[in-house]
Chain A
């Protein structure tokens, strides 16, 4: 899996990448890590929930791009995990996305990578509950889930 991240990180303008399971735990990260572990955990958990919310709202997405002033974050849903790529604003996002697709394609045909992902498997929907969310988010979730 590290090799896949290395290929992504070789794209000009990419600062690093990491893969989080649906709880937000980091499965693998570029070395050196592009962000603090606690930050990657938070991003992983929240973006995982965002994918669940979008699907529940009837707007299923497999990719979210966050564009900030000084960096961009590409999040790709691969079911058991979410792949994140941290880029500079001027990075060629087409190249980044294709590199990410190639890395994901490689993991899907690599039995060791598949086993590693399976060990981290967690039903996302089960992670969206009142004990995991603050009151406002839980209310919003209840509205989305009731549709």
Chain B
């Protein structure tokens, strides 16, 4: 009997498993797991009568589950369905699922991410354009800056439905899609470098004597850097920090003058 039947969907694809259970006239719950995802398909006398997966129920849940390329299954014979949400024959359900999976792949190729931006086509696809009411709602939102994800949110539909509507409009030639430009990487911060530290040590030593190296290292560390990572734009803060250690006013002013002159030099 099918009681205790379990295995891998990679070895026994779900459509084949359902056909096998259907041919045996089984009643029970087929528990499916894939990573953190899970779902159940209920059979009654060999017919699929209910499916649930996360927030999805009925055919929508079935199509979602049947699209899993891998995962684990376990059949609990005798479990009664909590309700009946599916009344299509298994062959029709599987055929519909295959068609939906193909459509999903096609949509994914056209709209690879929910960040995809849509804008109206500059040229009409033909002399007469017919639009479904649901698609008009999408068109009304398109301004060239709104993303597929934002369209879904604004319409109150899930990502799949938002993508489906955008795909339909794209196929009808009414909109154009673009991948958002990634923000330019921030330019690398220029480092102070060993030449700076050489000149800096000389200036600090003139004001503070032989403890210069230790004072510099402490100040650099206080700023959250090392000598090899200190950026050029942190030199002023470093100089100011060290200048507070110089008690003699004349020496401090001379040191600050030296540092200001150094800071005003253009970066090498």
Contacts of A10 in B (CB 8 A): 264
Task: Identify the interface centre among A98, A106, A108: most chain B CB within 10 Å of its CB.
Answer: A98
A92 within 8 A of B: yes
Q: B239 contacts A98, CB within 8 Å?
A: yes
Contact residue among B233, B239, B249 (Cβ-Cβ distance under 8 Å from A105): B249
- Structural contact, B240 and A105, CB atoms closer than 8 A: no
B222 CB to closest chain A CB (Å) equals 13
A99 to B253, CA, bound (A): 9
Q: Which of B25-33, B129-137, B142-150, B255-263 contacts A (4 or more CB under 8 A)?
A: B255-263
Contact A98–B249 (Cβ < 8 Å): no
- The binding surface of chain B is classed by DSSP as helix
- CB-CB under 8 A from A95, the residues of chain B are 236, 260, 263
Output the least CB separation between B152 and chain A (Å): 36
Asked if A101 contacts B236 (CB within 8 A), the reply is no
Contacts of B237 in A (CB 8 A): 94
Chain B residue nearest to A96 (CB atoms) is B236
**Additional A-B contact list (8), CB under 8 Å, known A98-B243, A102-B253, A102-B256:** A94-B239, A97-B240, A98-B239, A98-B256, A99-B260, A101-B252, A102-B257, A105-B250
A99 to B259, CA, bound (A): 10
Q: How far is the CA of A109 from the CA of B257 in the complex (A)?
A: 15
Closest CB of chain A to B247's CB: distance in Å? Answer: 13
A98: nearest chain-B partner, CB-CB: B256
**Cα distance, A105 to B258, chains bound together (Å):** 14
14 example contacts (A-B, Cβ-Cβ < 8 A) are as follows A94-B239, A95-B236, A95-B263, A98-B236, A98-B239, A98-B243, A98-B256, A99-B260, A101-B253, A101-B256, A102-B260, A105-B250, A105-B252, A109-B250
